[in-house]
Amino acid sequence: MTLQIRKLSYALGAEITGVDLGKPLDDATFGEIQRAFLEHHVLVFRGPPFTRAQYVAFGRRFGELDTNETYAADKKAPEFPQITLVVSKPKPNGEAATGRFNGQDWHTDHSHLPDPCSATLLHNIELPGLGGDTQFCNMYRAYETLSDGMKKLLEGLHAVHMESVVLDRSTPERYAEARRLNPSTAHPIVRVHPETGRKALYVSDQIKTLVGMTAEESKPLLRFLVEHAVRPQNVYRHIWQKNDLVMWDNRCLLHIALGDYDRTQVRHMEKMTVNGNRCGYTYDGPLE
């Protein structure tokens, strides 16, 4: 069987069939997958099941995998530190899980670091009966559909990325400690993809402020840019099937987990990230 590629939406995404990720891939087949990845930004593999060891071997073809040193041992797959467990399950008494869940705002993985991961791979193990979808947004299209005036305004601007956390501001010491534990990074608001050379908008819901501006000044522009980006015509909604492996390019996409399911049910994903190149700098300046 030969590899087949089928586009999943106008904006982005392609389904790959005819490839068995449980077997070593020859260079020609891997080259086709790499080209498809750069062209479609999200790849959905619907092939025969594979083991964790085979999953890691496939991920390694794309570069060095993060071993998630800062993660607690119970958040990683035993013997495979490259695989983190993204699991939502009901409370022990069977009631629906509550509170935040992984990936619930528009973001791009690890953008709070100066060298965010280039790609993410997410493998489904268990799905709720209905929903649990993930959406992806094409940030090349978001950039390319801005006016020339806006593109000019954004030239040279940097945005401060930080994970979605509430910082303890009760005392200056606690605030300093919260900042230390939650690093922030300034990235260019327009990012040049290191492999395609194309420009993509690099904004998300996880931005605190623009460098050199107050949060109040920054907010309306950032809100406009995210809303402009995530219009339906730039978005693909992935409806998971059991055993899907989805991989995406963080350098030109945002994604969001919709949480559109009954949280008395289990949703279990296994995630890996491919280390990326340095494109930002550690930011210790004001966030207000």
Applying CB under 6 A, which residues contact ligand SIN?
86, 102-103, 109, 134, 255, 257, 269
Residue, CB closest to ligand SIN:
103
Instruction: Name the minimum Å distance from CB 258 to ligand SIN.
Output: 8
Whichever of 22 and 81 has its CB closer to ligand SIN, that residue is 81
Instruction: Name the minimum Å distance from CB 66 to ligand SIN.
Output: 13
Instruction: Name the minimum Å distance from CB 97 to ligand SIN.
Output: 13
Residue 95 is classified by DSSP as P
Tokens linked to 260: 């559109």
- Residue 288, exposed/middle/buried by CB under 10 A (0-12, 13-18, 19+)? exposed
Tokens linked to 191: 């990012």
Whichever of 74 and 288 has its CB closer to ligand SIN, that residue is 74
Whichever of 37 and 240 has its CB closer to ligand SIN, that residue is 240
CA distance 279 to 114: 6
Instruction: Name the minimum Å distance from CB 269 to ligand SIN.
Output: 5
Instruction: Name the minimum Å distance from CB 103 to ligand SIN.
Output: 2
Whichever of 119 and 257 has its CB closer to ligand SIN, that residue is 257
- Residue 125, exposed/middle/buried by CB under 10 A (0-12, 13-18, 19+)? middle
13 CB neighbour count, 10 Å cutoff: 23
CA distance 243 to 49: 7
Whichever of 42 and 222 has its CB closer to ligand SIN, that residue is 42
Residues near 29 by Cβ (< 8 Å), separated by ≥ 6?
A: 3, 19
